[in-house]
Structure 1
Amino acid sequence: MWQVLACGAVVFPGLFFVFSRLLPCVFRHWSDADVVLVSERLVSSIHAVMATTVGVIVVSSCAGDVINDRHWLATYFVIWYGVPYMTYDIFAMYLSHYYHFHVKGHEDYKQHSLRTIKSFVRREFLLVLHHIALLTILLPITLFYRKDQGDFFIGCLFLTELSTPFVSLGKILIQLGLQNCCLHKLNGCMVLFIFFLCRIALFPFMYWMYGRHYGIPLYNVPFHLPLTTNLGNSCILAPQVYWFLLLCRKGYRLYKRSRRPDLSPTAAGSDASKDD
């Protein structure tokens, strides 16, 4: 098992390293911050495709009996690739944060230090907390406290990654200067729709599937579940709602800018980049 875990720990940093070496050869005008940002987004998209694929397999295999049906990927994907990715991604997000300010010439970002780490944690507190919670809460539940039940719901949680490639594509299009193209606008609509579907509506769906299994109406399911389960779901759902509201607000601002006749395409693109 340790060999497989080590393999997962090599895959994502290895992909990041490869992208960070290839991208400057293609986009010679990009700064270090641009290269790190896009490399991080590409690796995130690859992991998201893997997780979504596993989620579809597990959910479709365990839909008959959502409590007792089992699929080996529900547990082993978390060990093989979930833990290594979440650990890697915290570091990759820090690098992206560091180079973003380093390229801008901030005095505190001339080199890595405890101050730059504290600044990263402060600015990206919710994302860091989200990753740490997955490692310290979801992982033990998946491996030790489920009593070999609920693989269906673990598969559903994998499906939350479906929105990641679309979010990443939006940032990459902005990086390529294509924020005014139809693809970027279409992708923005897809981000809102898929994010709502797989990160917010997914939770009522899981409650509904649980209630259907036991013959309980949806509104009574929370009272049938342990308090810790409801609290855990609320802790996962709350940041998703917050991020969805941020996406809606950003989309509304971009829509208003696109309706302003006095705003040039260049200025609109600059504003979109600042929002990102």
Structure 2
Amino acid sequence: MTNKEDILGVTVGKLLPSIFKQWTDADVVLVSERLVSFIHAVMATTAGCIVVSSCNNVITDRHWLTTYFVVWFGVPYMTYDIYAMYLSHYYRFRVNGHEEYKKHSLQTVNSFVRRELLLVLHHIALLTILLPITLFFRKDQGDYFIGCLFLTELSTPFVSLGKILIQLGLQDCWIHKANGMMVLLSFFVCRLALFPYMYWVYGRHYAIPLYSVPFHLSLACNLGNLCILAPQVYWFVLLCRKGYRLYQRQGKARDTSCITDNNKGD
């Protein structure tokens, strides 16, 4: 199977230096990774919308795109993204002059895993847990809910766009501020609120109240959902803190500007 994401990443990585000649290897790898993430997320969200809108019965209805997307795009992307994140980490430290980053080694890999442990575990869990469930253990049921999980990628284009705008020096423009609001909104809706929504849909199908749904599902299903949801809560808190710090800095900058203007007026 050809890794389409790897081919796309290499292509973008070769084009960017010819356009932005002042960028370092770290800049090129970062933007390449984010562009590939952006494109994959748009595809995953589109696939999720198609699957969800096509399933009237949330348990038994099938759609061919569910398995096809996981096999041909989900798995290659998750594998590629771990490698791309490592390269981004490696070149960032190499450009900053760290001696141990003159070449790839077990030390650089270990450093990456320690710094990005949660992200790495998240990707590995999707490959080793969600993939087998999707392909083998769900007994050809629940395409609707797999489609819902595809929709968790809706926030990724906004996250990727934010990092690209910062790389382009546009972090103070209105587009970056509006994008930041979309990051928080899309992340909350599609990575946090989506899980109680899926429980509610399941309960409505079987005519049981929302609070009874966890007891109607298997322990493995509840634990799997919890393992996916827990890091999303952690990342959302980090995003909120980052947004609050940015708001404080902009407020201080406005106050300083007003004081300066008043002094000039005096």
TM range (shorter): over 0.9
Q: Give the C-alpha shift of residue 261 in structure 1.
A: 3.4
1:111 matches 2:103: yes
Q: 2:50 maps to which residue?
A: 57
Q: 2:35 maps to which residue?
A: 42
Q: Give the C-alpha shift of residue 219 in structure 1.
A: 1.2
Q: Which runs of 4+ in 1 moved over 2 A?
A: 261-265
Q: Please tell me the residue identity of whatever aligns with 1:13.
A: D
**Matching residue within 9, 12, 15 for 1:19:** 12
Q: Give the C-alpha shift of residue 76 in structure 1.
A: 1.5
- Between the aligned partners of 2:208 and 2:131, the Cα distance in structure 1 is 28
* Cα distance change, pair 120–113 in 1 and its aligned pair in 2 (3 A): same
Q: 1:193 maps to which residue?
A: 185
Give yes or no for contact 1:31–1:103 (8 Å, CA) kept in 2: yes
- Between the aligned partners of 1:76 and 1:138, the Cα distance in structure 2 is 14
Residues 242-265 of structure 1: per-residue CA shift (max 9 Å, x gap): 000000000000000000038889
Give yes or no for contact 1:173–1:184 (8 Å, CA) kept in 2: yes
- Between the aligned partners of 1:264 and 1:34, the Cα distance in structure 2 is 31
Secondary structure of residue in 1 paired with 2:253? coil
Q: Please tell me the residue identity of whatever aligns with 1:125.
A: L
Q: Give the C-alpha shift of residue 223 in structure 1.
A: 1.1
- Between the aligned partners of 2:256 and 2:78, the Cα distance in structure 1 is 40
**Matching residue within 118, 136, 141 for 2:133:** 141
Q: 2:245 maps to which residue?
A: 253
Instruction: Name the TM-score, length of structure 1 as normaliser.
Output: 0.91
Q: 2:168 maps to which residue?
A: 176
Secondary structure of residue in 1 paired with 2:57? coil
- Between the aligned partners of 1:250 and 1:80, the Cα distance in structure 2 is 35
* Cα distance change, pair 115–264 in 1 and its aligned pair in 2 (3 A): farther
- Between the aligned partners of 1:124 and 1:108, the Cα distance in structure 2 is 18
- Identical positions, percent: 74
- Between the aligned partners of 2:61 and 2:27, the Cα distance in structure 1 is 45
- Between the aligned partners of 1:187 and 1:261, the Cα distance in structure 2 is 20
Which runs of 5 or more residues in structure 2 are unaligned?
A: 258-266
Q: 1:218 maps to which residue?
A: 210
- Between the aligned partners of 1:240 and 1:42, the Cα distance in structure 2 is 21
**Matching residue within 185, 193, 197 for 1:205:** 197
Q: Please tell me the residue identity of whatever aligns with 1:58.
A: V
Q: How does 1:3-18 map to 2 (within 5 A)?
A: 6-7=1-2, 9=3, 11-18=4-11
Residues 16-47 of structure 1: per-residue CA shift (max 9 Å, x gap): 11111111111111111000000000001111
- Between the aligned partners of 1:76 and 1:25, the Cα distance in structure 2 is 35
Secondary structure of residue in 1 paired with 2:67? helix
- Between the aligned partners of 1:25 and 1:235, the Cα distance in structure 2 is 42
Q: Please tell me the residue identity of whatever aligns with 1:44.
A: S
Give the number of the structure whose alpha-carbon radius of gyration is greater.
2
Instruction: Name the TM-score, length of structure 2 as normaliser.
Output: 0.95
- Between the aligned partners of 1:76 and 1:143, the Cα distance in structure 2 is 10
**Matching residue within 84, 94, 103 for 1:102:** 94
**Matching residue within 225, 231, 234 for 1:233:** 225
Question: How many pairs are equivalent?
Answer: 257
Give yes or no for contact 1:257–1:263 (8 Å, CA) kept in 2: no
* Cα distance change, pair 172–263 in 1 and its aligned pair in 2 (3 A): farther
**Matching residue within 126, 132, 136 for 2:124:** 132
Q: Please tell me the residue identity of whatever aligns with 1:45.
A: F
Aligned CA-pair RMSD: 1.2
- Between the aligned partners of 1:68 and 1:119, the Cα distance in structure 2 is 45
Residues 138-163 of structure 1: per-residue CA shift (max 9 Å, x gap): 00000110000000000000000111
